Chains A and B, each alone.
Chain A
Amino acid sequence: MIELGLPPFLLLSAFLFACGVSCLAVKRNAIGVLMGVELILNAANLNFVAFARYNPAFRVEGQVFALLVVVLAAAEAAVALAIILNFYNNHATVDVDRADDLRG
C-alpha cells in the first residue's frame, strides 16, 4: 500500500472547504446553502481523521472529534431542513434572499 502522507489529505480538505464556501456564497436556494455547509463540515472532518492518522498525538482525539462532527452535521441538517420546510409553507419559496421579514 502506498503511503500518501498528510499533504494530499489537507489539499483535498482545502478543496472541499473552498467548494463549500463558494456554494454558500453563490446559491440562493436554501437547500443548496445547506449542502455547502455540509461540504465545509466534511472538509473539517477530513482534516480530523487525517491528523488522527498521521499525528500519533491525536490518534484517539481526531477520531472522536470526527464522530462528533458527524453527529453535529446530522442534527444541524435536521434543524435546518425543518426551518426550510416551515419557510416554504409560509412563503412558497426557498430563496434565502426572500427571507427579509426581520429587516429594519
Chain B
Amino acid sequence: MPEWFATTPGRLYVVATLLPLVGCALLLLFAGLARNLCRPLRASGGRAGSLYWLLGGDKPLATGAYLATALMGLAAVLAVVGLVMFLGDAQRGLKPDELAARWSERTDWIRVGNTDPATPAEWDKSDSARLVRDESTAAPPVPRGGRALELGYRIDHLTALMVAMVTVIGTLIFVFSLGYMRDETKETVEDHEVDHQTPGTHHFARRGRYGRFFAYLSLFAFSMLNLLVADNLFQVFVSWELVGVCSFFLIGFYYERPSASRAAAKAFIVNRVGDAGFLVGILVAWTSLGTLNIDELARRLRSPDRDTHGSLELAGQLVRVNPGQPDEKGNPTYELPAKGETGTHLALYPALWEDPTHFHGLGHARTNDREFTAPARQTYFDFGAMPYWLFVVMGIGIFLGCVGKSAQVPLHTWLPDAMEGPTPVSALIHAATMVAAGVYLVGRCYPLFAPEVLLGVAYTGAVTLFVAATIALVQTDIKRVLAYSTCSQLGYMMLALGVGGWAAGLLHLLTHAFFKALLFLGSGSVIHGCHHEQDLRKMGGLLTKMRVTGFTMLVGVLAIAGAPFFSGWYSKDQILSSALGYGLVHREHMTLFVLPLLTAAMTGFYMFRLWFLAFAGAPRDHHVHDHAHESPAVMTVPLVILALFSVGVAWGWPLWDADASALGHLLEAGQPAAVRVAFGPERLTAHDHHLVAGVLALLAAALGAGLAAAMYWRPKLDPAAVRARAGGAYTFLLNKWYFDEAYDAALVRPTVGLAFASAAADKRPTDGPAPPGAAEPPPRRYDLGTLDGLITTVGQLVGAAGRELRLVQTGRLRGYVLVLALTVAGLLGMLVGLSG
C-alpha cells in the first residue's frame, strides 16, 4: 500500500475523492434502502425486523452522519498530505513530465479506434497528429484515428490548493451541520414555514431527514472533488452536472415549502442555460481538436515552447494564419499574415509532438518562416488549422457554463433564491465551493480562451460585481445580503481572470471561500440562535447574547471588506492592481478599474451594515432578542477555526506587502504560460502601480465602512431619510434591477401561456355546444387537423396499403415466377449499366 502511493502520490487524491462517495452510498443508498425494504416487517420481528430497528427504526439515526463526517475529515487529511507532498515535489524542481508522471493518470472510458499513443505507426495517421511522413501523392489522411472519452486526474498547484480548501471547509461545514441540523433527528419534525406558505395546512409534520442531508452533502463533496481533479472537459462536465443536481436536492431539501421547491427548480433551470453553452464549447473542442484533455487542448492551440531545433520565441502564443493556395498535392496550406494584420484561422499543433518525427515549430530563433503548409512536407508546419471564429465560440461556450455556475450577470438570479436551502448548504455550496467552480474552470482552461473571450470575461465580472453589490446595499434578509455579496465577489474573481490577474483571481477564490463560509456559518448560527429569524430589521444588539458568533463574524466582515492584514485584503489588492494595470495599458477599458473601486466602497458599506444591524445597537425586536442564545460548541468551533483561516490564510512575509502573500506565490508558480504571454505589459504596469491601487481600495473600503457606521451604529444619518432622498433608485435596487420581472415577462410568462393554451386546446371535448337541431356536438376540428389527425392518417395509410397489397398475393406460382424473373433481369441490367 505505501509503495502504491509512493510511486504515484496523485492517487491520494483519487482516494480522497472517492471517500465522500462511499459515505453517500453507505448512508442513503444502502442503509436507507435496507431500512425502507425492512419497514413492512418491523412489527413481525425476525431478522429483517431487527435490521429495521438496527438502522434506526422510525427515529432517524445519527450514526451515518458521524460516519460521513469522519470520511470527509479523512479526505481532508489526505488532501492536506497530498498538498504537502505536491509542494515538496514542486520544490525539488522536477521536470514537468516527471511531475506529470507522479501526479496524473488517465484511462480510456469509452474508446473508438486505436488511441494508444505508444504505437508510432498508428500515431502517424491519427487525426490528432495529422502528419504525413511519406512523400506520396495521396490525399491528406482522413480523420480516422482513435478517439476516447477518458477518466483521469491531474494535480497542479491550483488543483492541490483547491482540493485542500474544499475538503477542509467541507469538513468544518459537516461538523457545523451536525449541530445545525439536529432538529432533523427527531421522529417528527414540524415545519411551520409550510403552514405559513400554504394556507389551509396546519401542523405539517414529517420524519426527520438527518441521514438524507448528509448523504446529499457527501455526494456533493464527491462531485466537487471529481470536478477539481478531472483532467478533461468531459469529466468536468459530468461532475458539473452532478454538483448541479446536488445543489438542486439541497436547495429543495425542505421541498414541502413551495418557495424551496421553486427555488430549486429555478437554480436547476437557470444553470441548464449556461450548461447548454458549455456543451457547445465541449463539442466544438471535440470535433475540431479531437481531444478533451485540457492539457492536450492547450498544446494543440498554443505554440510549443521548443521544437527539434531548440527553444522557440513564440512559446504559448495563439498563431493566426490565412489559408493560402493549395500546394501541388492539393493539400491546404496556410501562411502567416503580414505584420499588423490578423489571420482568419488559428494554427494547430500536434498534441504529442515529441514523436521521433522531425518537428519544426514556428518562430524558431534561427529561421524566420514566412509561410508553411499543412500537411505537406514534414519539416514544415503541417498540423492544420481551425477557423478563428470557431475558437472564439468554443471559449464563449465554456465561459457560458461558468457564468451559470458562478452566478454572473445575466444568469445570477438563481443564487439569492438558493438561500432557501439549509444554511450549511448555502455556506458550502452556494458560497465556498460550487459557485467557485466556474471561476476555477476559467482558471484551468485559461489557454483555451481567445483574447476577445477574456475581455468578455472581464466585463461580465465587472458588471456582475457592480450590480450585485448595489442590490446587496438594500437587502434586509441576512442570507440574501450574503448571497449578493457572493455574486459580487465572484465578479471580482472573473474580472481578475479577464484582465490577466490569474493568480490574483484564484487567490481571491481561496480566501473568499474561507471568509464567506465563515460569514454564512455565522449567519446560520445567528438564525439558529434567533429561532429561524432571518430579517435583519428584527435583530440588533445580539453581541451581548452571542459573543463568539459576533466576533468571528466581525473577522469575516473585516476580511471581505479588505481590511489590512486580513486575507481578503491581499487578494482584493492584487485584483485591483491587475485591473489598474490593464486599464492603464488599455485606456478605453478604464471602467474595469473604476467599477471594482466603487464596489470596494459598497462592499465595506453593506457588510458593516449587516454586522451593525445584527449585533450592534439596541435590540429592535424584544421577542427575538430575549430568546436569542449562543449556539453549541459544535457550531462555534468551526466558526473559530474558519475565522483563524480568514485572517491568516494569505499571509506572507513581509506582512504589509500585499504582493508577498505566500498563497499567492504558490498560485503564481502554477500559472499557465499563456498568462505571461498574453498580459506581459499589463502585468508590469500592475506591479508598478500596485501601491496606488492598494491605497485607493483601502480608502474606498474605509469610506463605505464609515458610512455604514454613521447610519447604523452611531446614528448621524437617518437611514429612512437617505432612503427618501434616493427615491426611485431605492425601489429599483430593492427590486433587484427588475431582473426577475424581466425574465418573467420575456421568457416565463410566454412559455407558461403557450403551455396553457396548448393544454386548453387539447382538453376541449368538442369545438363547442351542439348547434340547435344537430344530434351531436361538432368534432374537434383543430385536433383532427393537427396531431390527432396526423397519427390517425398514419394508421389509415398503413391499413390502406395492406388492403391494396393483398391483391398482389394471388397464390399463383406462375405470377410469382414472372415477377422474380423480371426483377432479376432488371437488377442485372442495372448492374451492367452501372459497371459499364
Contact = CB atoms under 8 A, between A and B. Distances in A.
B774 to A, nearest CB: 43
A24 B811 contact: no
A21 B812 contact: no
B817 to A, nearest CB: 5
A79 B588 CA distance: 100
B813 A96 contact: yes
A26 interface: yes
A100 B821 CA distance: 23
B814 interface: yes
A25 B818 contact: yes
Contacts of A3: none
Contacts of B812: 97
Nearest to A23: B817
Contacts of A25: 814, 817-818, 821
A21 B823 CA distance: 13
A28 B817 CA distance: 13
A91 interface: no
A75 B817 CA distance: 22
B313 to A, nearest CB: 67
B808 to A, nearest CB: 15
Contacts of A26: 814
B811 A21 contact: no
Contacts of B818: 25
A25 B816 CA distance: 8
Nearest to B813: A96
Nearest to A97: B812
B819 to A, nearest CB: 9
A103 B814 CA distance: 16
Interface SS, A side: helix
A27 B813 CA distance: 10
Q: How large is the interface on A (under 10, 10 to 19, 20 to 34, 35 or more residues)?
A: 10 to 19
A21 B816 CA distance: 11
A26 B818 CA distance: 9
A33 B750 CA distance: 74
> Which DSSP category, helix, strand, loop or mixed, fits chain B's interface?
helix
A25 B820 CA distance: 10
B159 to A, nearest CB: 66
A25 B811 CA distance: 13
Contact of B817 (A21, A97, A103): A21
Interface in A25-52: 25-28, 33
Nearest to A18: B821
Interface string B797-836: 0000000000000011110011001000000000000000
A21 B821 contact: yes
A100 B817 contact: no
A29 to B, nearest CB: 11
Contacts of A27: 814
Contacts of B821: 21-22, 25
A4 B813 CA distance: 38
Nearest to A33: B813
B813 A100 contact: no
B505 to A, nearest CB: 76
Contacts of B817: 21, 24-25
A100 B811 contact: yes
B329 to A, nearest CB: 42
Contacts of A33: 813
Contacts of B814: 24-28, 96
Contacts of A100: 811
A89 B465 CA distance: 102
B513 to A, nearest CB: 78
A33 B812 CA distance: 13
Interface in A71-104: 96-97, 100, 103
Contacts of A96: 813-814
Nearest to A96: B813
A25 B549 CA distance: 101
B818 to A, nearest CB: 5
A14 B812 CA distance: 25
B690 to A, nearest CB: 88
Contacts of B813: 24, 33, 96
- Identify which of A21, A25, A33, A100 gathers the most chain B CB atoms within 10 Å of its CB: A25
B829 to A, nearest CB: 14
A26 to B, nearest CB: 7
Contacts of A22: 821
A97 B812 CA distance: 7
Nearest to B819: A25
Nearest to A26: B814
B823 to A, nearest CB: 12
A103 B809 CA distance: 11
Contacts of A28: 814
Contacts of A103: 811
A24 B812 CA distance: 11
A24 B814 CA distance: 6
Contacts of A97: 812
A22 B825 CA distance: 13
A42 to B, nearest CB: 17
A100 B812 CA distance: 9
Nearest to A102: B811
A67 to B, nearest CB: 27
Nearest to B811: A103
A22 B821 CA distance: 9
A74 to B, nearest CB: 22
A44 B315 CA distance: 74
A50 to B, nearest CB: 19
A96 B810 CA distance: 13
A8 B817 CA distance: 26
A22 B813 CA distance: 12
Nearest to B821: A21
A47 B159 CA distance: 75
Contacts of A21: 817, 821
A85 B812 CA distance: 20
Interface string B298-318: 000000000000000000000
A24 B813 CA distance: 8
A69 B347 CA distance: 69
A79 B817 CA distance: 21
Interface of A: 21-22, 24-28, 33, 96-97, 100, 103
Given A26-B814, A96-B813, 17 more contacts: A21-B817, A21-B821, A22-B821, A24-B813, A24-B814, A24-B817, A25-B814, A25-B817, A25-B818, A25-B821, A27-B814, A28-B814, A33-B813, A96-B814, A97-B812, A100-B811, A103-B811
Instruction: List the 8 closest A-B pairs by CB distance, nearest first.
Output: A25-B818, A24-B817, A25-B817, A21-B821, A25-B814, A103-B811, A21-B817, A97-B812
10 contacts: A21-B817, A24-B814, A25-B814, A25-B817, A25-B818, A26-B814, A27-B814, A97-B812, A100-B811, A103-B811
